[in-house]
Amino acid sequence: MFSTPPTPPHLLQAPPTSTPSTYLDSKIELPTRRYVGMLACQRDPLLERLTTRVVSCEKRAPAPAPAAKGKKSKAVVEEAQADEWEVELEDTVLFPEGGGQPSDTGSLYELRDGAVLQDAAPIAVREVLRRGLDAIHYASRPLEVGAEVLVKLDVERRVDLMSQHTGQHLLSAVLERDFQLDTLSWSLTKAPELCYIELPRAPSPEELASLQQTCNEVIARGTEVKVKMELAGEGGVALGEKVPTNYQDGERPPVMRTVEIVDLDNNPSALFLILARARSADLSCLHRCCGTHYPSLSALGSLFVSPYTTPIRGTNARVYFCLGPRVQRQLSTFESLIRSSTQELGCAIADLPERVATLKSSYNDTSKREKRLKDELAGFVAESLWEKAMRAAGEGGPVTVISFREEDATNSLDFLSAVSLALKPRIEALPKEQKSLFALASGSTAGSSTPNGGALLLLGSEDLVVKAGKGVAGKFGARVKGGGKGRWQGKLVGQSWAKGDEQLLAEVVEEAKQ
């Protein structure tokens, strides 16, 4: 049997909140040093600040560099190398990441004689993570062990995360009760994106509409939410089989937390629905219940369920939803997008789908005509280049030519490829002893109004193409990267060809002929 020390008389008290006394059902005698499962943020989800003490503070070890490359990777490395301290407190209003809910953020304020130090700036808490049963705060500055601090919550972030998490429980309960659909997993995405739950099948549009209506009716009734806290090993309370090994330390009893949506839909069979699921052998439900939940569903305001689902992993499907602040943000975002689209297209909202369909059809027709014209043009360009090469080659000489097309509608690699395809049968028809090398370049040049890079193709006799490829590497260096034998393809690393690049390409071709 686990035992906990009595609460000391000097324990600092948290300020009162509007959380009803019936929200938490717990007979646990709280120790001085609270741990995950019994933290202030889990006992009172509406608590925004708390005075407590520092238990430990250690500098965070440098994070290993990520394997990815590029500018984004460099930024991640710099962030990981920034000085940060791992701070543990006797208690906290900042929820540590878990159960699918991201961590809270907030600030720490140093206190002296119960007052905030005027000359000390707030200490930012970037995230809070669970380490075993401890909540570790990643802070921007160190604190002395034993120091008294004020912990302040980033309320806007908590409201958003708590709304989505509480709503997910409601959504899952209704899906299980009304449609016999178990929630396989869920994701609390970054605001303002829609969250999603994964189900064993895709609900029909009618089921999704019914789901949204039922959930909003439950929310409108101000349905009560309760949380029960119990210590594992006491009163027959047992941990499930899938508890992480680091959720037990042998000294402190893990806390079992269950969430109850009271009298859901006034249906007795639905009472304690989530509680019953949480007590099952699968602890995944308990993990989903470790987060913060509103005492009343009325705080959610409204729930939106997208009428569109996404198939994933066989017959499984994702259902997208959002609650509270995200509903307003989603509505505002889409209203802005629709309004700007109708203004751009000069039509009413009701006519937008038809106008977009008409434009799409017109675009497809235009694209087909453009491709046909480009193919015809590529044939004319290939014929012109061939005639030019043959005149320069004379009788039996190597057939070589350079084409350097600057900033026009035919600069794309696709167009160069079409030209090369038109040249290929002519090259293959040459006598075996007659060599050939064509250098086709395109792209923006210095001074172009819209620099957009460039491309280079080398084709012809394999030996000349190989020599020319090496020549490109020697004269252009890292500015042009590519490869190949019978057809060498490369791209310009940068936005524009430089002055003199056409002459360099001519030198590459001449040297390859030697």
Question: Per-block average pLDDT, block size 10, for the chain (514 residues)?
Answer: 36 66 92 94 96 96 64 51 89 92 96 87 96 95 96 97 95 93 95 96 98 96 91 64 64 85 50 35 40 94 97 96 95 93 95 96 94 90 91 82 69 82 91 90 74 84 91 90 85 81 89 86
CA atoms of 239 and 253, how far apart (whole Å): 10
* pLDDT of amino acid 53: 97
Strand stretches in 20-105, DSSP E? 24-26, 49-59, 85-89
pLDDT of residue 291: 87
Of the candidates 43, 20, 39, the one whose C-alpha atom is nearest the C-alpha of residue 224 is 20
Q: Which of 185, 182, 201, 195 is nearest to 273 (CA)?
A: 182
Q: Classify domain 159-266+281-345 by CATH number.
A: 3.30.980.10
pLDDT at residue 245 in the model: 66
* 8 A C-beta contact, residue 166 and residue 225: yes
- For residue 329, the tally of other CB atoms under 10 A from its CB is 15
Instruction: Report pLDDT for 71.
Output: 53
User: Residue 452 has which token pair?
Assistant: 């957009």
Q: Does domain 374-513 have CATH number 3.40.50?
A: no
Which residues of the chain are in CATH 3.10.310 domains? 374-513
CA 240 to chain centre: 31
- List where CATH 2.40.30.130 sits in the chain: 48-59+81-153
Q: Tell me the pTM.
A: 0.72
Instruction: Report d(CA 288, CA 138) in Å as an integer.
Output: 23
CATH code 3.30.980.10 region(s) in the chain:
159-266+281-345
Strands 195-199 and 317-323: antiparallel
Neighbours of 480 (CB within 10 A): 23
For position 162, what pLDDT does the model report? 96
Classified as helix, coil or strand, 201 is: coil
Q: How far is CA 38 from CA 33, 155, 255, 260, in A?
A: 10, 20, 7, 17
Closest CA to 291 of 194, 414, 165, 411: 165
Distance (Å) of CA 392 to CA 121, 395, 398, 430, 505: 77, 9, 9, 15, 17
pLDDT at residue number 502: 86
pLDDT number for residue 411? 55
Q: What is the CATH number of domain 48-59+81-153?
A: 2.40.30.130
Is residue 55 within 8 Å of residue 147, measured between CB atoms? no
Query: End-to-end distance of the chain based on CA atoms, in angstroms?
Result: 90
Q: Is 266 exposed, middle or buried (0-12, 13-18, 19+ CB in 10 A)?
A: exposed
